[in-house]
Amino acid sequence: MKKLMTGLCLTLLSMTVLTACGGGQQTSTGSNPAPETSTEAPKQEKVQVNLWHAWGGSSQEIMDQLIENYNASQDQVEVTATFQGSYGDLSSKLQTAIAAGNQPEAAILERSTIINFARAGALEDLNQYDVDMSDFIPGLLSSTTYDGALVSIPAGRSMPILYYNKEHFKEVGLDPESPPATLEELKEYAERLTIPGERVGYESPTGIWNFSHLVMTYGGRLVNEEATDIGFADGAGVQALSLWNSMLKAGTMKAPPPAEADVTTLRDFVSGRVSMVSLSTGGLTIVMNNVGDAFEFGTAFMPSDNGHLVVPTGGADIAMMANSSQDKKDAMMDFVQWVTSTEQNVFISKSSGYVPTRFSAVESEEMQALYLENPLYKVAVDQLPYANDTDIYVNWSQVSREITQQVELNVLDGSIDEETAIRQIQEAVSPLFNP
């Protein structure tokens, strides 16, 4: 009986596995493309390298296009790109794969997760290769270095910008060509734009991204320079929370539910229920598509604190894994250089709404023509000099979770005041900074 059972079990398993393997169709992202049969060098085969990424949906199409173009552009290297879920999924999976020695040659990692891989020694120091970083916009580079090593190169990066409804501005007698430049103005404009029960002047997600814009603009940092504590305990944090709270209490600001913050904010803006929102540059195309001819809108810098402005960035860098053979690394490096080149940088920026990461890309004819045709895109580029990230810290994911939680308790729940929120953040994160 037992034998019969095991036998049956094994047959079933092997049968299913066999049929499944036979049934797989070859796609553009296939694992075993046909070997190159070049007439000049018959022995030469393309070096196979793997790239992991988290670009789903419309970003997946951009990625597929990039890979296809690269593989067709030369006959030395064949890159296979694999979608690995969200940036969080990708990070967990990569950690596991590195432990087993099954890692890909490169991965496009969310910028704040890079430092963890760098500290573990999993990332290749790109300084060994012929990489020139002087063309890259300095504000986007804080995630790319670790302990003197160049561990990543910006791939697709975004920033928050202010979107505003010009029709609403005209309605209340505001100049549609002069959006709020300072946080004081933002507050004042929001008050004028609000019609109780009908629309709200300003909406902003209250997650870590928008919180960091306020904190940094008020002169603080998320993590201090020495990486020993949070960098907003002495005033900037309280100031940031107070601004949100005063606007929320006055009913001139709406805070979307945290779980669906981006999509709620976007939806409220395109349906005219709020007049100003802060959203990612990556959302510009979708806002344009959804607003259509319904109303005219503009984009602007994030508001400053009397001229002082610091804007966080988002998105991902491409990083190479240290633990592969040198010829694979050389092959992958060729792709890394190609995909971060000015030309591809322009392509990614134009098709995705990510900001260009190179000065030469910003100055390129193609981008300049685009900005002339559609000035809405230009705002993000002009805002680039104000970019900075102050969240590069090994325990960042835990620290940011604590901050977000206390901010929510204070802003959305109202159950604790600003000082208590900041104090509780400090208490909660201090063991994370001094393990």
| CA–centroid distance for 295 within its chain | 28
By the rule CB under 8 A, 280 interacts with other proteins: yes
Binding status of residue 401 toward other proteins by CB under 8 A: no
47 - beta bridge partners?
A: 77
Q: How far is the CB of 58 from other proteins (least distance, A)?
A: 5
Measured from the CB atom, the residue of 352 and 364 that comes closer to other proteins is 352
Binder among 48, 68, 83, 219 for other proteins (CB under 8 A): 83
Structure tokens at 224: 């201090």
Q: How many chain residues touch other proteins (CB under 8 A)?
A: 63
Decide: is 34 part of the binding site for other proteins (CB under 8 A): no
Which amino acid, one-letter code, is at 276? M
Least gap, CB of 85 to other proteins (angstroms): 5
Residue 131 to residue 127: CA distance in whole angstroms: 7
Q: By C-beta, is 156 or 220 nearer to other proteins?
A: 156
Q: Which residues are CB-contacts of 55 (< 8 A; sequence separation ≥ 6)?
A: 62, 63, 83, 108, 156
Torsion of CA 50, 55, 61, 65, to 10 degrees: -40
How many helical (H) and strand (E) elements, i.e. helices and strands, does the chain have? 17, 14
Token couple for 235: 């005033």
Is 31 a residue that touches other proteins (CB under 8 A)? yes
What tokens were used for 420?
């208590």
Alpha-carbon distance of 177 to 2, in angstroms, equals 81
Identify the CA nearest to 202 among candidates 231, 177, 179. 179
For the bound state, the minimum distance from the C-beta of residue 278 to other proteins, rounded and expressed in Å, comes to: 13
Q: Which two tokens stand for residue 93?
A: 């999976």
Q: Which of 35, 56, 375, 431 binds other proteins (CB under 8 A)?
A: 56
Q: Write down the least CB distance from residue 399 to other proteins, Å.
A: 21
Report whether 60 contacts 15 (CB < 8 A).
Answer: no
Q: Which is nearer to other proteins, 10 or 369 (CB)?
A: 10
CB of 243 to other proteins, least distance (A): 24
Tell me if 99 contacts other proteins by CB under 8 A. yes
Q: Is 27 in the site for other proteins (CB under 8 A)?
A: yes
Using CB under 8 A, pick the residue from 196, 292, 307, 435 that binds other proteins: 292
Among 24, 148, 197, 435, binds other proteins (CB under 8 A): 24
User: Assign residue 210 a region: left if phi > 0, alpha if psi is -120 to 50, beta otherwise?
Assistant: alpha
Q: Which of 36, 38, 89, 323 binds other proteins (CB under 8 A)?
A: 89
Type of residue numbered 252: T
Closest CA to 130 of 360, 341, 317: 341
Nearer to other proteins, 380 or 421 (CB): 380
Residue with tokens 């920026």: 349
Q: How far is the CB of 216 from other proteins (least distance, A)?
A: 20
The answer to whether 257 contacts other proteins (rule: CB under 8 A) is no
CB 368 within 8 A of CB 374: no
65, 242, 290, 404: residue in contact with other proteins (rule CB under 8 A): 290
- Interface residues with other proteins (CB under 8 A)? 1, 4-5, 8-9, 12-13, 16-17, 19-21, 23-27, 29-31, 50, 54-60, 82-86, 89, 92-93, 96-97, 99-102, 104, 158, 262-263, 266-268, 270-271, 273, 279-280, 282-283, 285-286, 289-290, 292, 314, 353
